[in-house]
Each structure stands twice: as C-alpha cells, then as structure tokens.
C-alpha cells in the first residue's frame, strides 16, 4: 500500500494547498502521471505521482492546505505488471527520486544507501538542520526521505536540550523559545518573533511549519481562491526573496563573461526561418539553450548541486529557464534532459513552458533544474549576471544580440555578438572550469549546423 504525499516543490515550501484532483478512486496511474494540482506560495503546480498503482482513496479535499509530507491519497501498488514502461525515461526522476551520482534504482534502497534516498532539496534541509541522513528511518515505504522526516528528526534531537546550551543567541533577555535552527532562520527572514509562536514539534519546539503559516501573508487555510491576485503576487515575491537572499547569503558567487560572435548562428537562423512557417520558426533562444545544454553535459561539474558540503553531479541536464511573469516575478521551471533534445524539441518545450508558467501550470518534475539560463536579450541589456538558484551551482546569462564592430580575419567588420556570462558557486566550481564551460559554449555556437543535427538517438526522451 503506497501513499501519495504533499511533495516539497521548492527549497522554501512547507505547506501546499490541494486545488484539484486529476484522478479518481479506481484510476490506474503510472509513474509520471499528473494526479493533482497544488498551489504553493509561488505558483500552481501539476504534481506527478512517483509510482505505478491504482488510486484507492483520496484523503484530502480540494481547497485544503496541508503540510508537506501529508498523505493526500492511498495507492494500491497494482500497476499493470508487464505493460509498457513508464513514458518518462528512468533518468527523468521526479524531484524526490534521488538524482544521486550513480543512477541507482531509487525506490528499493535499504541499509546504508537508504540514507542517500532523498531529493537534493530534502538533503539540503537536512544539512541546514544538522540532521544526519544515515540515521533516519523514512516513513515512506518506498524508502524515500521526505521533508517531514528531517523536521521530525531535527525537532526530536534538539528539543530536549534546546534552548540554553545549543542556541547561539537567545533573542532577548536570556531564554529564547525552543526552536529548530531552520525554524529560527525562517522566522528571522520573515521577521516573526519566535516567542509569539506556538510550537507543534516535540516538547513544544517551534519547527518550520509553525513559522511558515504566519510568514507569507497569503497562507489562508482551506481557502484556496483567496490566495489569488495581489496576495498571490505578494507571496510569489516573498518566495523569490527567500531563495535569492539565501543564495546571496550562502553562495560565494563568482562571475565570468565572454563575448560570442553570432554571425554564423544568426545567418543560419535567418535562412532556416525563411523557409519555415511561423509556427515552426526558431528563436535564437533555442540555439542558446541547446549550446548551454551540450556544454553543461560536457562539463558535468557545472551541472551539479551543492549539498551536504559536497558537489553532487546531476547527470542529466535539466535546464532551468528563467521566465518572467507578466504580473511580476519570475519562475525557473526546467526543460528535462535538455542535452538530448533537438533544436525543434527545445523550441517547442520552451514555448510550452513559457505558456504554462505564465498560466501558472508547471509540473512538479520541472521544478528542480540542474543549471539555469536567464536570457534578458529581449530587454536590450548587454549582459546579465544571475543569482544562482540553490542548490544549483551555476547560472548562465545571455544579454541581447547586437551588431558590433569586431576584428575578423585581420579586418574590422560588423557582426552580431552576444555577451554570455556565468555566475558560479566557488564552493563547487573554480574559474578554470567556468572558463572552459564558456569556451565550449562559444565554440558550439560557431557550428549551427552541428547544433541543428539531431541529438544522438538512444538516450533521447
């Protein structure tokens, strides 16, 4: 008997509101199927199921807000036994299915390896909370560690001796309330006084979920529609603020930039688009995304997460794309396995992602990229130096493509050029690797025909 739980859909997500069910009891679901629509502070997310099975019972009514980890539905593990494999390649693991260095089967892990069976976000939380994953017993029968496993562990092993010895500086006049470090941090970020909170952790300790409901102004319980309009914008802003502030606080960024000659790429694109109807035309962004994905694949150290004080290579390139929302704010859903997608596939994926992100419909498997691209070319800026989206270790920025004088074959001439930047986490990446990555990217953009060639079949999506 499996349970489908409220997933953690972002580094700072603690609770989510179930907006609607996309399945009913008796429905057979496959891993990767969209089963529910969930509202987070930032956006509405189509949530996919992690395992095959039959929906036995829906446990939560639409419109209800619940903490991450709360069982939402019961699943009977009676997936069609020898039917076709799940549509997504195994490498398209959903967020909670450990993108560990080695592509090991992630649902049956027991023993010491079970400790690694947690998503990077969960592992990051464990790091923040000072929880050793190896000592944890996941509640989820599949062996996956969820956010609530970490919080429970953090609360139990801190609460008894919490305030006086363990805490660094009690807020005022001696004893602060008992609280997990993560809850303290959340409270500090949100400007909430811990003393005013009622702890629901063991021994009354204040845990993250006690802080969160008061932090975003919108977290209206059981009233999903109210979290719209201005409130929604405010909570989107707050979610961005948290992640960005954490990034700049924790990540020692360094920045590289490179000016790339796009004469060949622009000419290729012009000829190509001339013979395509509008619905099949390519934007320069498709070439930039493809070159970035291939360069990230060639330099795996860039395509990685920083978790538990170490680099974890992501493997597949899940290419996050910064998409500005017309109402303000930005989201960074990713194009999964981008290195194995053709130019046309990337263009279609980008168009689809932009439309869905602006309509507020991103999928849970798209929320955790391995590297992000921010493209401000349309806004006319020369260059953008992005803020890294943790736990990723790099963000690539593209400025606008503009005609500039360049020296070419010993002559001064005018070519379209583009400034490409890399912001990287110096804990995980050095300048040498960053430079090589940018050089590879620039070289790839000199060969548009090669970029346009179909990616190597076999591993494609």
Partner 1 sequence: MTDSDHPTMPLTSVTAMAAVADALRRIAPELDLDAVDRSAPLRDELDLDSMDVLSMITALSDHIGSPIAERDAAEMTSVDALVDYLVRRTA
Q: Give the total of residues touching partner 1 (CB under 8 A).
A: 18
Does position 281 interact with partner 1 (CB under 8 A)? The reply is yes
Residues 131-190 that bind partner 1 (CB under 8 A): none
Yes or no: say if 40 and 239 are a contact pair by the CB < 8 Å rule: yes
Check binding of 273 to partner 1 (CB under 8 A).
Answer: yes
Secondary structure letter of residue 356 according to DSSP: H
Site string for partner 1, 66-105 (x = CB under 8 A): ----------------------------------------
Q: Which is nearer to partner 1, 142 or 361 (CB)?
A: 361
> Judged by CB under 8 A, does residue 351 bind partner 1?
yes
Stretch that binds partner 1, among 34-42, 131-139, 223-231, 279-287 (CB under 8 A): 279-287
Residue 350 binds partner 1, judged by CB under 8 A: yes
Residues 6+ apart with CB under 8 A from 154: 129, 130, 131, 180, 181, 182, 207
Task: Name residue 419's beta-bridge partners.
Answer: 259
28, 244, 283, 387: which one binds partner 1 (CB under 8 A): 283
Q: Classify residue 441 as left (phi > 0), alpha (psi -120 to 50) or beta.
A: alpha
Interface residue with partner 1 among 61, 274, 309, 409 (CB under 8 A) is: 274
Element (H, E) at 404: strand 402-408
Q: Is 327 in the site for partner 1 (CB under 8 A)?
A: yes
DSSP SS3 for 57: strand
CB-side neighbour CA atoms (13 Å) of 11: 26
**Shortest distance in whole angstroms from residue 356 CB to partner 1:** 13
Q: H or E segment at 273?
A: helix 263-274
Cβ neighbours for 52, distance < 8 A, ≥ 6 positions apart: 28, 29, 30, 31, 77, 79, 80, 86
Residue closer to partner 1 by CB (options 193, 352) is: 352
CB contact set of 254 (below 8 Å; sequence gap of 6+):
423, 424, 426, 431, 434
Q: Is 285 in the site for partner 1 (CB under 8 A)?
A: yes
374: region left, alpha or beta (phi > 0 left; psi from -120 to 50 alpha): beta
State the nearest-atom distance from the C-beta of 28 to partner 1, in Å: 35
One of 61, 279, 309, 409 touching partner 1 (CB under 8 A): 279
Residue 253 engages partner 1 in binding (rule: CB under 8 A): no
CA pair distance 386, 171, nearest whole angstrom: 34
Stretch binding partner 1 (CB under 8 A), from 45-53, 156-164, 290-298, 347-355? 347-355
**Closest distance to partner 1 from the beta carbon of 317 (Å):** 21
Label residue 76 exposed, middle or buried (CB < 10 Å: 0-12, 13-18, 19+): middle
Residue (26 or 278) nearer to partner 1, CB:
278
Q: Which of 270, 309, 409, 449 binds partner 1 (CB under 8 A)?
A: 270
**x/- contact string, 357-396, with partner 1 (CB under 8 A)?**
--------------------xx------------------
Interface positions with partner 1 (CB under 8 A): 270, 273-274, 277-279, 281, 283-285, 324, 326-327, 350-351, 354, 377-378
């Amino acid at each position: 008997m499996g349970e489908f739980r409220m997933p953690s859909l972002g580094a700072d997500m603690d609770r989510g509101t179930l907006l609607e069910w996309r399945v009913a009891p008796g429905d057979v679901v496959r891993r990767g199927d969209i089963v529910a629509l969930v509202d987070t502070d930032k956006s509405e997310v189509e949530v996919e199921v992690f395992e095959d099975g039959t929906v036995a019972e829906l446990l939560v009514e639409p419109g209800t807000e619940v903490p991450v980890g709360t069982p939402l539905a019961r699943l009977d593990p009676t997936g069609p036994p020898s039917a076709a494999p799940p549509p997504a390649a195994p490498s398209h693991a959903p967020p909670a299915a450990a993108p560990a260095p080695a592509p090991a089967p992630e649902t049956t892990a027991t023993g010491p390896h079970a400790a690694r069976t947690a998503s990077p976000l969960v592992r990051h939380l464990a790091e923040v909370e000072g929880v050793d994953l190896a000592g944890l017993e996941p509640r989820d029968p599949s062996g996956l560690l969820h956010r609530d496993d970490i919080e429970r562990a953090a609360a139990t092993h801190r609460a008894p001796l919490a305030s006086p010895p363990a805490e660094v500086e009690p807020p005022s006049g001696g004893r602060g309330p008992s609280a997990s470090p993560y809850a303290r941090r959340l409270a500090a970020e949100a400007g909430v006084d811990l003393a005013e909170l009622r702890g629901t952790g063991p021994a009354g300790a204040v845990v993250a979920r006690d802080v969160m409901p008061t932090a975003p102004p919108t977290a209206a319980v059981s009233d999903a529609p109210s979290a719209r309009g201005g409130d929604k914008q405010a909570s989107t802003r707050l979610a961005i603020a948290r992640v960005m502030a954490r990034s700049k606080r924790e990540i020692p960024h360094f920045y590289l930039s490179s000016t790339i000659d796009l004469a060949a790429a622009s000419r290729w694109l012009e000829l190509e688009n001339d013979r395509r109807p509008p619905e099949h035309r390519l934007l320069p962004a498709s070439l930039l995304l493809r070159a970035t994905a291939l360069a990230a694949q060639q330099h795996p150290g860039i395509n990685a997460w920083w978790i538990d004080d170490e680099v974890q290579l992501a493997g597949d390139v899940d290419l996050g794309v910064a998409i500005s929302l017309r109402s303000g704010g930005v989201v960074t859903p990713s194009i999964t396995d981008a290195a194995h997608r053709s130019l046309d596939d990337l263009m279609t994926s980008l168009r689809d992602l932009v439309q869905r992100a602006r309509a507020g419909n991103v999928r849970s498997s798209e929320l955790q990229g391995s590297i992000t691209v921010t493209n401000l070319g349309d806004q006319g800026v020369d260059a953008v130096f992005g803020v890294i989206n943790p736990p990723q270790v790099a963000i690539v920025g593209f400025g606008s493509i503009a005609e500039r004088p360049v020296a070419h074959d010993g002559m001064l001439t005018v070519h379209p050029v583009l400034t490409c930047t890399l912001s990287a986490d110096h804990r995980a990446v050095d300048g040498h690797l960053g430079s090589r990555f940018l050089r590879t990217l620039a070289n790839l953009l000199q060969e548009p025909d090669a970029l346009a060639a179909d990616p190597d079949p076999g591993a494609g999506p």
